[in-house]
Structure 1
Amino acid sequence: MNSTLTLNPTLTTNTAFTSTQSLNDLVKAASKVISPLGPISTFAARTPWVGMEQESFEEVARRLKTIVDVDIYPNEFVLRSAQNRGEIRQEFLEIQLQKWLDSQSLDIPHDVAERFCRSALLLDDPLPSKPLEISELKKIIKKVSHFNCRIIKKQTVKTFSQRMEQLGDGRIAKDLNRHMIKWCKLFLDDIQAVWSMPNRENGFYDAWRGIIKYDPSLKSTVRKKLNEGPQNADDALMNALQEMDIPFKEIQEYLEAHLYALPGWAGMMLWRSQQSAKEHSLLLEYLAVRVSMECALIKPYLPLPKQDIDAKAFLEPLVSAWAQWGDMPVSLISQLPPTELEAYLTLAYRFDKVARYRLWLEAWEKTYEDQLMKLITSKQSIVRKMDKTVMAQFVFCIDVRSEPFRRQLEQEGPFETIGAAGFFGLPIATTKLCSHHSHNSLPVMFNPQFKVKEISSDIELKQYQQRNQVVNSLSSTFKTMKHSLPSSMLLPEISGPWLGVQTLARSFIPKWAGSTFHKIQKKWLRKPFTKFTIEREHTIASELPIGFTDGEKVNYVRQALKMMGLTNHFAPIVVICGHGSYSTNNPYSSALDCGACGGASSGFNARVFASLCNLPKVRQTLEKEGISIPEDTVFVAAEHITTTDELKWLYVPELSNTAKDAFNQVESILLKVSEKANAERIPQLPNIHLNYKKPKAEAERFAEDWSEVRPEWGLAGNAAIIIGERRLTQDCNLNGRVFLHNYNWQNDKNGDLLEAIINGPGTVCEWINLQYYASTVAPHYYGSGSKTTQTVTAGIGVMQGNASDLLIGLPWQSVMQSDQNIYHSPIRLLVVIQAPREYVERTLSHNQAFNQKVQNGWVRLASIDPEGIWESWS
């Protein structure tokens, strides 16, 4: 509805909006504080702060602490543990402290301020719990009566239900969340619910309004008020805001506070609103329901008492800080002149816990940067030069899990490895054989431009469809019986013997059981030889085009090869390596596939890209442009299984003689490479039953064990991305912590390649890094808790118990070594660019979004110039 509404004339204090357009703008602006949350089946790493990067990291940290009491800096225990492991050096902590002091303008002797801050920074000297003497504190309050009002420029807006908590009544805020969780689950459930929410097709607000009058958990007066509310969401949200007399200038922040309350469910509503034009107003409807319910619940308590700053509560910790860390008795503090006293209190106010933890985090990051710099620069003088002909080139995803495997592979023969974005530049949606559904096979920040289908010959396809249908029918029949009341009574007796045997086998001999079941299924299905629809097919205008035109084939191959830096010196065989993961009984299995592509394994993309590169027409066109691929060079496709660290062939066309020799040489060393990679990786997994003598067998057991909460570490530990030549790092053990993207600045005169890497793979790495960071520092808010207590809900995500927020991040086991010790080091991504200084300056100048991230502390930046000199930019 787009009608103009007349506001209550008594609300003259509001500079009110007059149309739904204004309201939509406010909701859109407020939505920046949450991140879209897709279903767990297509889980993709996302930074939860993607809409807030125009603010500094510290500003966002302070806001979250004030509104929802969430700390996004590592806590004291995590910082101390890192220091004890040698990951935070005291010298860098001192450097960061001096930088902070230099940035402050204070009327205090520098040595006094430095002594106070250094004492406060130790972390192991807490403020005394004993309250200060009232008489002395009153003197101080009287001297600086206006100080607390002047120093706090603006109080962060909280919802009325949150203010009720501050007043000592926490029931309304908790009840409001409980009701919203209930209604969101009902509305969003497309899979598990036998009976769906009535009128769901009409939208969230309409469906909720239709049944709210029957909710027995609400008082009759509340039900009546909600039932008599406006018929559309726009009017309902406006009316509720007016009834609570929220000033217009505070409405956006008020809506933000409501979104912060349940960022998971709100994030799912936001994601849904972005997927379909029909549901474009879903987030507004969510807020209309939530604010309307808050208004009805809070009505008896209105008007709320005015929020006043408690001078005693505000000043007491500042005075205590000087008494404790400044070694100044309270009696001496109270005798200071008002101007000097304000200066002392201002320093204590600014150098609070957030500021202190910021310096510790920066020292942690600087320590890692220094260690990485020394590792790389010390190896530059002894970089191996390939004096033999390169027999095979492997193009891996930049994923940190590829780094150890690449390193082991390079040590086994005349092989070269290359790092590139794992979707290989193909903006496609993929459809597997016999499937009616497509999956976007590219980073979630982009939309597919083409569709590619897996196909087979008609006769083989028909037979495969019949066999596949038998398997699917058995599965769907079982699910139907489970959800049907009469048949569910008989199901245990019917399925008990088979499921009992399966349970025992999977519990006590998981590796054998899993392998056997897979072999039986594979033998039964007998999937035929397949190829792809890479040739353009006719489609209706509303659908994605199927396949590519000749020009598009050349364009995407050219673009990808340039991004990889592979435009000459081709080996006889070029292996395009996608990657995927494998685990059993794991709701987060998609999180272990491509961290950016929503659970898509990039093996499909690898096959398509290798096929395109082998097309004679594509090669002929590229040769005219200076990219000459030898006739005997063959592109093949493989998949790196990260759970077991093995390489599986996906597409091997007819090979030339030299390619056959190279292929055989690769085949002969793959088992050894897999064993060595697993031997390096498996001991890092915490398990008392580990068999270190057979690391590959252990990895296979982890993948098949349905009780295993940590089949692999995923991308935990990620800390940096290096954009440069492989020879820069090929002799460095980077411990699986670094994304590696090939880049040669000499082939990028205008900087387009570097900017494309920063905007694409660089942004993906930042999102992955901040997802792991958030899940580590605030697991109760941005993570998803322990896997052992998770509940898969509505078929779309997980909760803890039956009434929590829809959890938006990674499980505890994905970032923690144990209940006490972290595995993932929560430091922000370090972007290292191998290029002359002017290239970096040009990138920062042209790419304002990246420059903003660096300036505001969301990523860090360093560069290595042609002389091997390391320069830190943040």
Structure 2
Amino acid sequence: MNPSQVVPNELQAAVTAACEAIAPIWPLDQFIAVNPWWGMREQSVAAAADQLQRRGGISMLMPASFYLSAWEGGRIRPEDVQDVLQAVGPEPAPSLEEMIKRLRLGDSVQPRVACSIFLSHEGLAPAGDGNSQAAVVRQAGRFCARYFDQRQARWAADKEHGLYTAWHQHVNASHLVDKQIGVKGLQRLLAGLPQETEQALAQLTSDLALPPAALEALCHGLLLDLIGWASWCRGIDWRAENQGGTSNICRELLAVLLAWEWAGLALADNATQKAWRVQWGLAAKSGFNENGLDNGANTDGQLWLWQQAFERAWQRQLLSSLNLDASPVAAVKPDVQAVFCIDVRSEVIRRNLEQADGGIQTKGMAGFFGLALAHQTLSDKPGMRQLPGLLEPAIIAADTTGTSQGDNAQRSRTNQQELVRQAVRGAKYGSLSTFTLVETTGLAWAWKLVRDSLNKGNGSKGEGHEPGQLRMHHAGTGDPLSDANKIRLGTDFLRSLSLTEHFAPLLVLVGHGAHTDNNAHHAGLACGACGGRNGGLNAQIVADMLNEPVVRAGLEKEGIVIPQETWVVAGQHCTVTDQVQIIRRNALPSSHRGVMSRFENALSIAGTSMRRERATPLQLNGLGDNALLAELQRRTRNWAEVRPEWGLANNAAMLIGNRTLSRGCDLGGRVFMHDYDPEADEDGNVLTTIFGGPVVVASWINLQYFASVTAPETYGAGNKLLHSVIGGNVGVIEGDGSDLRIGLPWQSVHDGKNWRHEPMRLTVLIDAPQERIDLALECTPALATLVKNQWLSMTSLQLIKRTRGASSASAQLTVAG
């Protein structure tokens, strides 16, 4: 490649930065909540919002009417606004009266500073109405759907070459490009571009003649116009990088989009080309100062102040709900200890379970229970991830029958079944065989159709089966998991849970999962810490390890003595029905059956209370306890149910500390709760671990819900009733759209009348000295960046405890956030 075919370094950096500004997404069967602004975290949240508005016409905030309603309804109080105004800094802040007056004027829609040439130049569109831009997005989106298909589409794109090269070949072979886009001369220009991605980028970036900052703005803006497929490509790159490989598929998609822009610009007159370059130069600038918030002189700046006041009001309520003045309680060995995921839905079951039986102590940690695990079934399918999206599997849990001969036989049967399914799928979607398939097999499907329509299925869908035999080995080497490895895993697990003494006779590790039917976003209701899978498998593996005598002997050498009388079991909480299944209950020693019966009785009482609590938001008021349970069970197998549960809607905070801070407090299922004993972590290692994983994951979840409410057209998945799954597990499109819909469906955050999620950035409260928090942040730079740039707020409860009054205490959060 000669120098003229290489993208200069400064332009390379612009292209790379634009791609990295897009957050990754995962396939539907591994769907996890993702912070859609993860790639913009190096900027302040308000500066990032300004950039999104300038480049993509995307608003990160709710409309002015939302904040006005909160003010007039008393949700936001004067002291909340005053706290925020006092924190603006040395620059003059608007008065409360001025802010209210401006708010009553309504929304002042900020125009998009720059847009595609196909929108900015009327001569390129048949009627000057933007049809050409929509056509370009549609063409690129539909090509991506064919290219990334996983054996579902009738006709797939040739994937022998990269995305850009395949697209270039497709465009050259088509004679309808000009007609489809509505602009003459496009195909001739596109055909003359190089076929290789890097050579094409070199020509495109040279011909567009934009300075690096403007080029980055253009590239980012084009990717935002096709945000679904851009996020999918970024996900492929992300996972390749995490696995030590390389992928540039997002860069290839950008080459496609730049090619369209280049061709359109070439057909524009000189005046339009000049105006286009000026636009993207302005889009590269920022309307915010280096601190991320201006002084509130413009409407957007004032909306950010109202957003902060909205968050401050809830922080005040949260602080008033906690047991901040509770004296330390002497450690007492409970009768049962139950460990749950930090998921906000666990707050509800923990509270009700402790109310049902005072002898039960609950604890919380990330629901993958410290196992960076992939589960390999007896098939040729790749292992399923059972860990957070930020990590890669270190351990493989492989199903086994116990013998090599049995494994091979089962693997052969499973693969044969999959071949049959693929044959049926191929016939179903084939251009000719689809008609004969219906004629010949229609009656065979009749009973299933009737049964599912009447909700007479065999039971709830999901990974609810009990784990069979497993063979544990390292992901990299394939070596069996040694006793030393298990001891280390057990030690890390118990220390991260702050459980190293005072063990109960019965220790229950409770994973969670959601059982639904015909739900493309099923994984989004399961355990996010388990990669969108149900957490019972992880719980069972850890329970088995902690019961092994050799592991307990090793733990004792580490200073952790699990009494001989303690038995560890696993369970799984169905978050739709609020029932808990004890896994392998029959293997429980006879000596522990009495305490297990007591625990199960408490679970039954707690489940009834939880279902009553959830009845109102689920619009199931008026049903008796038995009828309510039956209705929720029906939802697990109802293929027409679009709101089986509310998932993590309304999540707003994370509490890291001892259970005494929140025991007996009704936190409304809005708080992630991670156990932490500051007295047992003087070096801060445990807190650093919590910061590096659970807090970042909680922030991802929080901002996914935030974005799905504030910018649903861009970061929400739209209406479930209009979804079509494409590419097998790639994603969904809505109606006749061509771009992937990312984020959460409308039905996951809205009940048909009102939003079920209040968009607020995560509030993290930590029972630790500020010095230890600062040290842990130094060791976790990604989280430190989120805190510094106000993507979440964080503070020390020990600092707040010195301040009397919930309002003044909440003001402490401004300093940290």
Above 0.5 in TM-score?
Answer: yes
Supply the distance in 1 between the matched residues of 2:310 and 2:107 (Cα, whole angstroms): 24
Conserved? CA contact 2:294–2:301, under 8 Å: no
Q: 1:399 Cα shift?
A: 0.5
| Local SS of the residue matching 2:39 | helix
Q: 1:460 Cα shift?
A: 7.3
Q: Match for 1:763: what amino acid? A: V
Q: 1:717 Cα shift?
A: 0.8
Classify 1:552/1:126 alpha carbon distance in 2 versus 1 (closer, same or farther; 3 Å). closer
Conserved? CA contact 1:394–1:418, under 8 Å: yes
Q: Match for 1:117: what amino acid? A: E
**1:257 correspondence with 2:221:** yes
Conserved? CA contact 2:7–2:202, under 8 Å: no
Classify 1:785/1:598 alpha carbon distance in 2 versus 1 (closer, same or farther; 3 Å). same
- Deviation string for 1:487-518 (max 9, x for gaps)? 422333444345344333333x31xx123698
Classify 1:399/1:126 alpha carbon distance in 2 versus 1 (closer, same or farther; 3 Å). closer
1:164 match: 121
2:342 match: 398
Q: 1:689 Cα shift?
A: 9.5
Supply the distance in 1 between the matched residues of 2:277 and 2:189 (Cα, whole angstroms): 34
Conserved? CA contact 1:61–1:71, under 8 Å: yes
Selected match of 1:186 from 128, 137, 146: 146
2:549 match: 616
Classify 1:577/1:547 alpha carbon distance in 2 versus 1 (closer, same or farther; 3 Å). farther
- Deviation string for 1:249-283 (max 9, x for gaps)? 42222211211211111111122234448871212
Supply the distance in 1 between the matched residues of 2:709 and 2:597 (Cα, whole angstroms): 44
1:362 match: 308
Q: 1:241 Cα shift?
A: 2.4
1:816 match: 750
Supply the distance in 1 between the matched residues of 2:165 and 2:596 (Cα, whole angstroms): 62
Conserved? CA contact 1:432–1:453, under 8 Å: yes
Conserved? CA contact 1:384–1:731, under 8 Å: no
Supply the distance in 2 between the matched residues of 1:216 and 1:773 (Cα, whole angstroms): 44
Supply the distance in 1 between the matched residues of 2:251 and 2:648 (Cα, whole angstroms): 35
Q: Match for 1:425: what amino acid? A: G
Selected match of 1:224 from 183, 188, 192: 188
Supply the distance in 2 between the matched residues of 1:829 and 1:708 (Cα, whole angstroms): 30
Conserved? CA contact 2:366–2:529, under 8 Å: no
| Local SS of the residue matching 2:52 | helix
2:559 match: 626
Q: 1:751 Cα shift?
A: 0.9
Alignment of 1:83-162 (within 5 A): 83=71, 86-100=74-88, 102-105=89-92, 114=95, 117-121=98-102, 123-126=103-106, 158-162=115-119
Supply the distance in 2 between the matched residues of 1:567 and 1:188 (Cα, whole angstroms): 48
Conserved? CA contact 1:717–1:823, under 8 Å: yes
Conserved? CA contact 1:450–1:547, under 8 Å: no
| Local SS of the residue matching 2:518 | coil
Supply the distance in 2 between the matched residues of 1:764 and 1:556 (Cα, whole angstroms): 21
Conserved? CA contact 1:45–1:596, under 8 Å: no
Selected match of 2:487 from 543, 554, 558: 554
Supply the distance in 2 between the matched residues of 1:847 and 1:733 (Cα, whole angstroms): 31
2:740 match: 806
Supply the distance in 2 between the matched residues of 1:691 and 1:425 (Cα, whole angstroms): 39
Q: 1:232 Cα shift?
A: 0.9
Which stretch shifts more, 75-84 or 369-378? 75-84
| Number of residues of Structure 1 aligned to a counterpart in Structure 2 | 778
Q: 1:692 Cα shift?
A: 6.5
Conserved? CA contact 1:176–1:294, under 8 Å: no
Alignment of 1:206-225 (within 5 A): 206-219=165-178, 221-225=185-189
**1:456 correspondence with 2:401:** yes
The root-mean-square deviation of aligned C-alpha atoms, in Å, is 3.4
Selected match of 2:649 from 690, 697, 716: 716
Supply the distance in 2 between the matched residues of 1:629 and 1:636 (Cα, whole angstroms): 14
1:514 match: 457
Q: 1:740 Cα shift?
A: 0.5
Q: 1:826 Cα shift?
A: 0.3
Classify 1:622/1:166 alpha carbon distance in 2 versus 1 (closer, same or farther; 3 Å). farther
Q: Match for 1:515: what amino acid? A: N
Conserved? CA contact 2:30–2:532, under 8 Å: yes
| Local SS of the residue matching 2:458 | helix
Supply the distance in 2 between the matched residues of 1:60 and 1:617 (Cα, whole angstroms): 52
| Local SS of the residue matching 2:185 | helix
Alignment of 1:20-31 (within 5 A): 24-31=12-19
Classify 1:234/1:304 alpha carbon distance in 2 versus 1 (closer, same or farther; 3 Å). farther
1:675 match: 608
Q: Match for 1:711: what amino acid? A: P
**1:863 correspondence with 2:796:** yes
**1:72 correspondence with 2:60:** yes
**1:532 correspondence with 2:476:** no
| Local SS of the residue matching 2:104 | coil
Supply the distance in 1 between the matched residues of 2:714 and 2:10 (Cα, whole angstroms): 31
Conserved? CA contact 2:369–2:493, under 8 Å: yes
Q: 1:478 Cα shift?
A: 3.5
Selected match of 1:410 from 354, 376, 382: 354
Alignment of 1:201-600 (within 5 A): 201-219=160-178, 221-276=185-240, 280-305=247-272, 306-307=274-275, 350-377=296-323, 380=326, 389-413=333-357, 414-433=359-378, 436-458=381-403, 475-507=421-453, 509-510=454-455, 513-515=456-458, 530-534=468-472, 536=473, 543=476, 545=478, 547-600=480-533
Task: List alignment gaps of at least 5 residues for structure 1.
Answer: 8-17, 130-151, 315-346
Q: Given the two structures, how large is their TM-score scaled by the length of structure 1?
A: 0.82
Conserved? CA contact 2:778–2:784, under 8 Å: yes
**1:651 correspondence with 2:584:** yes
Supply the distance in 2 between the matched residues of 1:173 and 1:664 (Cα, whole angstroms): 64
Supply the distance in 1 between the matched residues of 2:96 and 2:514 (Cα, whole angstroms): 52
Classify 1:348/1:379 alpha carbon distance in 2 versus 1 (closer, same or farther; 3 Å). closer
Q: Match for 2:751: what amino acid? A: Q
Task: List alignment gaps of at least 5 residues for structure 2.
Answer: 179-183, 283-292, 803-808
Supply the distance in 2 between the matched residues of 1:572 and 1:480 (Cα, whole angstroms): 54
Q: 1:166 Cα shift?
A: 12
Selected match of 1:638 from 565, 571, 587: 571
Classify 1:406/1:801 alpha carbon distance in 2 versus 1 (closer, same or farther; 3 Å). same
- Deviation string for 1:681-737 (max 9, x for gaps)? 232113699666622112111111111101110111100000001121110011111
| Local SS of the residue matching 1:648 | strand
Conserved? CA contact 2:707–2:715, under 8 Å: yes
Classify 1:846/1:528 alpha carbon distance in 2 versus 1 (closer, same or farther; 3 Å). closer
Supply the distance in 2 between the matched residues of 1:418 and 1:450 (Cα, whole angstroms): 25
| Local SS of the residue matching 1:831 | strand
Q: Match for 1:864: what amino acid? A: L
Supply the distance in 2 between the matched residues of 1:656 and 1:127 (Cα, whole angstroms): 65
Which stretch shifts more, 252-261 or 479-488? 479-488
Q: Match for 1:6: what amino acid? A: S
Classify 1:597/1:693 alpha carbon distance in 2 versus 1 (closer, same or farther; 3 Å). closer
Conserved? CA contact 2:4–2:202, under 8 Å: no
Classify 1:682/1:587 alpha carbon distance in 2 versus 1 (closer, same or farther; 3 Å). same
Supply the distance in 2 between the matched residues of 1:671 and 1:404 (Cα, whole angstroms): 14
Q: Match for 1:572: what amino acid? A: P
Q: Given the two structures, how large is their TM-score scaled by the length of structure 2?
A: 0.88
Q: Match for 1:218: what amino acid? A: V
| Local SS of the residue matching 1:96 | helix
Supply the distance in 2 between the matched residues of 1:833 and 1:348 (Cα, whole angstroms): 29
| Local SS of the residue matching 1:358 | helix
Conserved? CA contact 2:117–2:264, under 8 Å: no
Larger radius of gyration: 1
Q: 1:614 Cα shift?
A: 1.2
Q: Match for 1:183: what amino acid? A: F
Supply the distance in 2 between the matched residues of 1:701 and 1:464 (Cα, whole angstroms): 33
| Local SS of the residue matching 1:639 | strand
| Local SS of the residue matching 2:691 | helix
**1:51 correspondence with 2:51:** no
- Percent identity between the aligned chains? 30
Q: 1:82 Cα shift?
A: 3.7
Conserved? CA contact 1:63–1:156, under 8 Å: no
Conserved? CA contact 1:748–1:754, under 8 Å: yes
